[in-house]
Structure 1
Amino acid sequence: MLRIAGHVLNPRLIVLDKDGTLIAFEAMWHSWFERLMEALTSQIPLDAETQQGLAATLGYDPQSGKWDPLGPLTIAATGEVALLIASQLYRYQGKTWEEALAIVARAEEIARATLPVEELTEPIGDVRGALERLKAHGLLLALVTTDVRATTERTLAYLGLSPLFDVILCGDDGLPLKPAPDMALDVCRRLGVAPQEAIMIGDTSVDLIMARRAGYRCAIGVTSGALSREALAPYADLIIPDIHAIELLPDKEERASTPSGPSSTMPAVRSPMSHSRSGEPRYDGYIFDLDGTIYLGEHLIPGAKEVVAWLRGHGRRAVFLSNKPLEPGSSYAAKLTRLGIPATPDEVITSVQALIYYLREHHPRARLFVIGEKALLDELRREGFTLTEAVEEIDVVVAAFDRTLDYAKLNTAHQALVRGARFLATNADRTCPIEGGALPDCAGVIAFLEATSERKVELIAGKPSANMLEAAVARLGVPKERCLLVGDRLATDMVMGQQAGMDTALVLTGVTTREMLAQSDLKPTYVLESVADVP
């Protein structure tokens, strides 16, 4: 067992990042950049201004020797950094793309071959001693880095760390890179460890996001690398100065011993492994958020399949919610089925279906103008609604996520609102999560139209609107007092449930961290490590 930031954990596996976690980040990359510039200028003339531009592209200030903690070199993989440099040579040096790639590849090869390993490798304290103690404590250790294998193995061999790791995964091993969960999940698969029995320790947001997406028990940030405590806070469950702050505990110490020290405000979380499935479910109906609660990307949250089967086996009903208006409910049902949770379209409620529920109740014959993508327009037409672009015919303007948005659409909506059309929206999300980042979502469309038309949106059909919850409860056929809402977002899932007077369960496998919860006034009925522990 371990005590980390005042909390007792009992993992089987510790997965570590390399740069900034085991070896000093800035010292290593400063030497690398200087040697890379030398290798580049040996092939192509680069004046001081061009070199300064390359440094800025990578998020590096040569004058101070500091890197942008959210810049490319801090977060991007080695191959992605090479592409950035090549793009600059292509754009400003008149090289073809093939020439630019070849120049950068040769420069990297020279830099790696000529840079002494002692310049490349400055351990953060007695790293070897720290890992040896963890290993002697019976823990499995793995290294996951976006650096290439040749450099990684050279570094580990120099420090004498290679034999201490049970698995080493590198950026050129062919798996999707951080923050995708694939590398974290592959480590678990190789070692026969469940993700909830693993913890991740890293110094950047992508390390911690990867761990959360993989369903790891804990994502731990260290301030020994690129990011400060404040920058790590939105992504980390716990934050420590470095790996030397991990305290080994004797096996006899209780796993659930009371936290002590500055992190003692962390809310109590029930372990997904502790809940017995021999009893009856506590509620008659269950409403589950999808992304971050049931699955992350193309991977089920560990235990999600078993929980849904347990509920259905006891005759309980469940529906699934998604605020995304990009796909019909049938697509989400097909995805759930493909991932191992059989589902029908009737068991999925999207913000579009919540909108349809509202329109049928209040504007069944309205003519609609929709800012949205083809899938949304097609679904509304299938449901019998009339769509029009003629301003004088528009009864209701609907705003939604739209990657085909243009000025003409905004102007049509604006003119219709000025003429008195009703103003609805599918959702109010500021961003739409995608692999490795986010896209602007419907909130921007709403803000534009509110500002230009001086009209306020009248209804948000999706979360946290009561309208969506009413649609879910109606679909379940169960009184809301006998339902539990399970989700990963405070501002939508928990707000929606609490405003309706429904019991709520916050899971920590998605957006919300323990620190975010501790700073919030919202108090969910349950705080769960994952969906695996729903009562």
Structure 2
Amino acid sequence: MTDYEAAILDVDGTIVRGGALIPGAEQGIRSLDRAGCDRLLVSNNPTSGTNHYGDRLESHGIDVDTTRILTSATLSASYLADTHPDETVYLVGSDALESILTAAGVTVTTDPDEADVVLGSFDESFSFGTLWESLQALENGTPFYGTDPDVTIPVDGGSMPGSGSILAAMEAVAGREPDAILGKPSAVAAETALERLESDPRRTLVVGDRLDTDIALGNRAGMTTAAVLTGVTDRTDVEDATGDFAPDHVLESLGDVESLL
């Protein structure tokens, strides 16, 4: 009988890398299911909604209920719709994120003069012009949010720049940090995940490959944390980690999660 009633799982770097299923991931998910752990996938991918991961994992033979998926895009959309209704969001981000925001009832603009709120995120078309416009949008204390702090994103063969790199540029010109990050490791993400699972944080396990997002989210919310070595973190990183970034457990892959159950 496991001590855990639920598990929060990262996706990229934990279950998949690029288009490939990480060895051991399916085994780990089956172990959680056999132990009776309700599972929730929480990704800091700001370009995807719930259906993306449902379809993606289904293609690998893993069934996922789309109500058991959160992404930094859907978290941001829900938060902005709830806390800034009837306000216009100036978006530095992808077309996919814009669609997710719009579907949640958020009004989006690319005109800095119309900005009531600013949201920064991953944007493949980010340019000097975008940075200049974001500076204009951020003047006069406009509320400033980021989807996620991931500086890089794991892909086949390496990494690519992520939302955190875009936010760093926006922070530099604005002279201030975002008022909040809405994906992992924020309190917004942790609270939403626990509400969705209806679980006690003391009986919830978080498994992920990033110490500064997955592990920090779990530690700050009073959950048990396990870092996997299939993504951006290696053993040296774990040995050097302190405070919120230090995991309770280290696993070679998600396939080893059975040892904790």
Deviations 1:168-215 (A, max 9, x none): xxxxxxxxxxxxxxxxxxxxxxxxxxxxxxxxxxxxxxxxxxxxxxxx
Equivalent positions of 1:442-457 (< 5 A) are: 442-457=163-178
Q: Which amino acid aligns with 1:532?
A: G
1:465 and 2:181 correspond: no
Equivalent positions of 1:81-480 (< 5 A) are: 280-480=1-201
Q: Which amino acid aligns with 2:247?
A: P
**C-alpha distance in 2 between matches for 1:392 and 1:302:** 49
- In the TM superposition, residue 419 of structure 1 has moved relative to its aligned partner by 3.2
**C-alpha distance in 2 between matches for 1:422 and 1:347:** 29
Report what 1:63 is aligned to: none
SS at match of 1:318: strand
Q: Which amino acid aligns with 2:227?
A: L
Distance 1:360 1:490, change over 3 A: same
Equivalent of residue 206 in structure 2, options 458, 461, 485 = 485
SS at match of 1:470: helix
**C-alpha distance in 2 between matches for 1:444 and 1:307:** 32
Greater CA deviation, 450-459 or 333-342? 450-459
Distance 1:380 1:519, change over 3 A: same
**C-alpha distance in 2 between matches for 1:310 and 1:515:** 28
SS at match of 1:341: coil
Q: Which amino acid aligns with 1:288?
A: L
**C-alpha distance in 2 between matches for 1:445 and 1:511:** 19
1:524 and 2:247 correspond: yes
SS at match of 1:339: coil
- In the TM superposition, residue 331 of structure 1 has moved relative to its aligned partner by 0.7
Distance 1:379 1:314, change over 3 A: same
Distance 1:523 1:442, change over 3 A: closer
**C-alpha distance in 2 between matches for 1:451 and 1:296:** 31
**C-alpha distance in 2 between matches for 1:463 and 1:366:** 24
CA contact (8 A) 2:154 2:232 kept: no
CA contact (8 A) 1:507 1:531 kept: yes
Equivalent of residue 216 in structure 2, options 458, 483, 495 = 495
- In the TM superposition, residue 476 of structure 1 has moved relative to its aligned partner by 1.0
Q: Which amino acid aligns with 2:252?
A: E
Equivalent of residue 505 in structure 1, options 209, 226, 244 = 226
Distance 1:330 1:403, change over 3 A: same
- In the TM superposition, residue 313 of structure 1 has moved relative to its aligned partner by 4.2
Report what 1:199 is aligned to: none
- In the TM superposition, residue 314 of structure 1 has moved relative to its aligned partner by 4.7
1:515 and 2:236 correspond: yes
CA contact (8 A) 1:507 1:529 kept: yes
**C-alpha distance in 2 between matches for 1:300 and 1:284:** 25
**C-alpha distance in 2 between matches for 1:533 and 1:498:** 20
Q: Which amino acid aligns with 2:86?
A: R
Q: Which amino acid aligns with 1:524?
A: P
CA contact (8 A) 1:281 1:311 kept: no
SS at match of 1:312: helix
SS at match of 1:467: helix
Distance 1:292 1:449, change over 3 A: closer
Extract unaligned runs of 5+ from structure 2. none
Question: Higher RCO, 1 or 2 (CA under 8 Å, sep at least 6)?
Answer: 2
Deviations 1:448-504 (A, max 9, x none): 222222232111111222221222112111122221101112222112211112111
**C-alpha distance in 2 between matches for 1:515 and 1:389:** 42
SS at match of 2:222: coil
SS at match of 2:195: helix
CA contact (8 A) 2:208 2:226 kept: yes
Extract unaligned runs of 5+ from structure 1. 1-279
What TM-score results when the alignment is normalised by the length of structure 1? 0.46
- In the TM superposition, residue 420 of structure 1 has moved relative to its aligned partner by 2.9
Distance 1:346 1:449, change over 3 A: same
Distance 1:393 1:297, change over 3 A: closer
CA contact (8 A) 1:391 1:415 kept: yes
Q: How many residues align?
A: 256
SS at match of 1:302: coil
Q: Which has the larger radius of gyration?
A: 1
Q: Which amino acid aligns with 1:297?
A: G
Q: Structure 1 vs Structure 2: percent identity of aligned residues?
A: 38
- In the TM superposition, residue 438 of structure 1 has moved relative to its aligned partner by 2.3
Q: Which amino acid aligns with 1:347?
A: R
List 4+ stretches of structure 1 deviating above 4 A: none
**C-alpha distance in 2 between matches for 1:394 and 1:484:** 39
Distance 1:447 1:303, change over 3 A: closer
**C-alpha distance in 1 between matches for 2:73 and 2:151:** 17
**C-alpha distance in 2 between matches for 1:389 and 1:528:** 43
